[in-house]
Amino acid sequence: MGHKLITASYVGSYGDASAQTPVYGGTFKVPSLTVDEAGHVTAISEHTVTIPLGSITNTDNGNVVTNISFTDSSNAITINKSYVGDLTLTNYTIATTVSDIAAVDSINTAFGKIQLALNTLNSNLSDEATARADADSDLNDDLSDEITARENGDAALSLIISGDPEDDESTGLIGRINTLENANTAEEDRIGALEDIINDVEEEDPEDPNNTIIVPGLESRVDALEAINV
């Protein structure tokens, strides 16, 4: 079997002499062979393969990555970001039982527990406010009843002391005291008049205003009569 001789221009090493681990933008060599119908290598060459760099697009503002996408045709990576405060609580639900926040809870679970605690607190505060309002209303009613009772008591006491101004015969304690005082004064006047009748009284002399005379009383007259009878 005859072989076509490879010319001297084909003699040599093709491809990389050692294993390569190229990075993005790196290269490695690949041999290229030409084989005829008899299986003979008729030409040898090599070409360089370059790992494409690709690109990263990151134009959004924010402090948390919300999405990463890759474009096969251009090896382009696109990064989307946002601020934590602008993120929506996807799949968020309120917790059904009260419990402490745990280290293994997700943000949605933690917020669900917080919301349930707030709802429970608001409900308790509402019940407390209603109870206090009812207590205040009862207290106001009791105070109103007490004031009314005292006013009625004061009015009754006023009638007892001063009497009914619309009733002429209702004099009250003050009227009765005044009546007793007037009666005592009249009694004292009568007693004084009787004493004047019984005892000697010194009076102004009607004939001489500068002198006084003794008007004998009943006691002196009785004594005089007794002396005459003796």
Instruction: Say what the pTM is.
Output: 0.41
Q: For tokens 């009260």, what's the residue? A: 98
Distance CA 64, CA 86 (A): 10
pLDDT tens sequence across 213-227: 776 766 676 777 777
Instruction: Write the CA distances from 37 to 34, 41, 42, 45, integer angstroms.
Output: 10, 10, 10, 19
Average confidence (pLDDT) over 185-212: 74
Measured CA to CA, the distance from residue 172 to residue 135 in angstroms comes to 42
Rounded Cα distance, 23 and 164, in Å: 117
Exposed e or buried b for every residue in 4-33, given b needs 16+ CB within 10 A? Answer: eeeeeeeeeeeeeeeeeeeeeeeeeeeeee
C-alpha gyration radius of the chain:
66
Q: Which amino acid is at 4?
A: K
Residue 73's alpha-carbon distances to 53, 77, 78, 213, in angstroms, are 12, 11, 13, 157
Q: What percentage of the chain has pLDDT greater than the value 70? A: 87
The domain limits of the chain are 8-53, 54-87, 88-142, 199-230
* 3-state SS class at 65: strand
Q: Tell me: the pLDDT tens digits for 13-65?
A: 888 889 989 888 889 999 998 888 888 888 888 999 988 887 888 878 888 99
Q: Is the model more confident about 187 or about 120? A: 120
pLDDT given at position 17 = 87
